[in-house]
Structure formats: C-alpha cells, structure tokens
Homo-oligomer: A and B are copies of this chain.
C-alpha cells in the first residue's frame, strides 16, 4: 500500500512573488502535495499580528490535485489561519514551511519576524513547522545554495517528531557571498534589538522618523549560539517554543502582596 503523500503548507512574509518563496515551493513539491498561501505584499516585521480591523481578500492563483496557490491581503499568521480554517479546512497540513526569508531570523529577531510567526502558528496547531531564513535582505538575492540543506531538513522533519508546540528556526549565512561550512543544531543567542530613528521631512515639510536597528548579541564572542555561527558561515537549526508563562518565578511572585483593602 502506498503511503499517503504529505500535505505541505508553504508561506512567507516577503510576499507571494518573492524568489525565496519560489525556491521553497519547488523543494516542497518534491515531498508532497503543496498548498501555498502567502501575503500579496511585503509583511516583514509583522510578528504574530492578525488582520482584525480590516477584511481580508483571498485571490486564487492556481488549483489542481497536487498544487494550489493563493495570495491574501493579510499577514503571515493570517495566511496560516486562512489555510487551516477557510481554504483547506478538510485536510490538515502535515508540515508548515515558511520562507525562505530574505534576512536572517536569529536570536530575538524571531519575535518580530512574520516568517517565524507563521511557523510558530503552525506549531500551536500541532503541525510540524519550520522557518528558513538567509542572512541577506535583498529580495533580488538567489538562495539556491541553501536548497540542499532545506530539502534535507524537510526530509528529516517528515521522518521524525517534534515535541508539542515546538518548531524549528533555520538560518543560513549569506549564501550569495559564502559557501556554507556546515550545519549545526544550536541555541539562539541572548540578543536584543536596539533602534535608531532616522529623521526626515516629507514634501510638505512635516517631520517623520524611520526605524532602523541593530541586533546586539549579549553573548558576544561565545561560539555556541546562532548569531555567532551564521556570522561564521554555518547554517543553524534552533528549536523554538513560545510559552505564555514563566513558571520558575510563579512561587516567588505568589508571595507578593496584591490584595487591596
């Protein structure tokens, strides 16, 4: 008896037409039936936001037995929710693949990334999920050299199991500049994004500011984290699980006095 083909949801945050997504779709097709639901415009840094105050438009691009593709006027998390609850409610994906993101998502970047939010949303729905990112922000960049690793990771993910709520965060060095030295399973760096705001005027002489930032590695110099390894030419795989609790502090906090009267 033939095994059922995996059903694979592919999305990203850079948008439906972007090269990184197109590469990931081609890889996904080698492993199973593919549903693409991706934003119709750039949704970088949209984190886990959902489109609540506005309606969402769904545009069917292609649909046949083994492949369907939709663009939507929403965020990456909207895309995952639409796929699960509206576009394909009768067939739950076996995998959620997000990316390949133009720009790395190491360390604290996970929290801002729309691509990683899509993977986390998949994991919250008990689907094996992974986000792929390359340390090059140009939407013109060609990430072909990352593909053999992407496909090896998909193959492993199909074979093996992740713990409840856990997804994978995969980061590649800038493959347009360096040859990947290898791939390592490693923890995320303890990092924080600090910002600079660039001031300017619009044509009507009104002031505005534009956000720019730098990710600081609080573990600077230590080699066992994703920021360090990506900077040094390695691909990294990091397990992620977002929890809404910090249980180690619960007992101590319960001794604080919050009672009025």
Contact yes or no, B244 A240, CB < 8 A: yes
B55 touches A208 (CB 8 A): yes
The answer to whether B246 touches A160, judged by C-beta atoms less than 8 angstroms apart, is no
Residue in A55, A77, A148, A237 whose Cβ sees the most chain B Cβ within 10 Å: A55
A195 within 8 A of B: yes
Closest to A246 in B: B241
Interface contact B111-A258, CB-CB below 8 Å: no
Question: Copy number in this complex?
Answer: 2
The complex places the Cα of A246 from the Cα of B108 at a distance, in Å, of 13
CA of A132 to CA of B48, assembled, Å: 20
Nearest Cβ in chain B — how far from A75, in angstroms? Answer: 8
Chain B CB within 8 A of A238 CB: yes
Q: How far is the CB of A132 from chain B (nearest CB, A)?
A: 12
Judge whether B197 and A85 touch: CB under 8 Å.
yes
Q: Are A260 and B163 touching (Cβ within 8 A)?
A: no
The docked-state distance in angstroms from the alpha carbon of A94 to that of B92 is: 46
Please tell me which stretch of A3-11, A27-35, A182-190 contacts chain B, meaning at least 4 of its Cβ atoms lie within 8 angstroms of it: A182-190
**Docked-complex contact A55 and B238, CB < 8 angstroms:** no
Tally A residues with Cβ within 8 Å of B.
Answer: 85
A52-B44, A152-B260, A209-B82 are known contacts. Are A185 and B244 too (CB-CB below 8 A)?
A: no
Decide if B250 touches A240 in the complex (CB within 8 Å).
no
The answer, yes or no, to whether A138 is at the interface (CB within 8 Å) is no
Kindly name the residue among A152, A156, A260 whose own CB sees the greatest number of chain B CB atoms within 10 A: A260
Residues 138-160 of chain A: 1 if any B CB is under 8 Å from the residue's CB, otherwise 0?
00000000001100110010001
A-B contact pairs, 5 of them (CB 8 A): A48-B49, A55-B208, A86-B209, A239-B247, A241-B249
Residues of A within 8 A of B (CB): 42, 44-53, 55-58, 77-78, 81-82, 84-86, 107-108, 110-112, 114, 117, 120, 124-125, 148-149, 152-153, 156, 160, 162-163, 166, 168-169, 182-183, 185-188, 192, 194-197, 200, 202, 206-211, 235, 237-250, 253-254, 256-261
With contacts A239-B247, A242-B242 known, what are 14 further pairs, Cβ within 8 A?
Answer: A42-B53, A46-B47, A46-B49, A50-B112, A55-B209, A57-B208, A81-B195, A86-B195, A152-B257, A160-B256, A163-B249, A187-B250, A188-B245, A239-B245
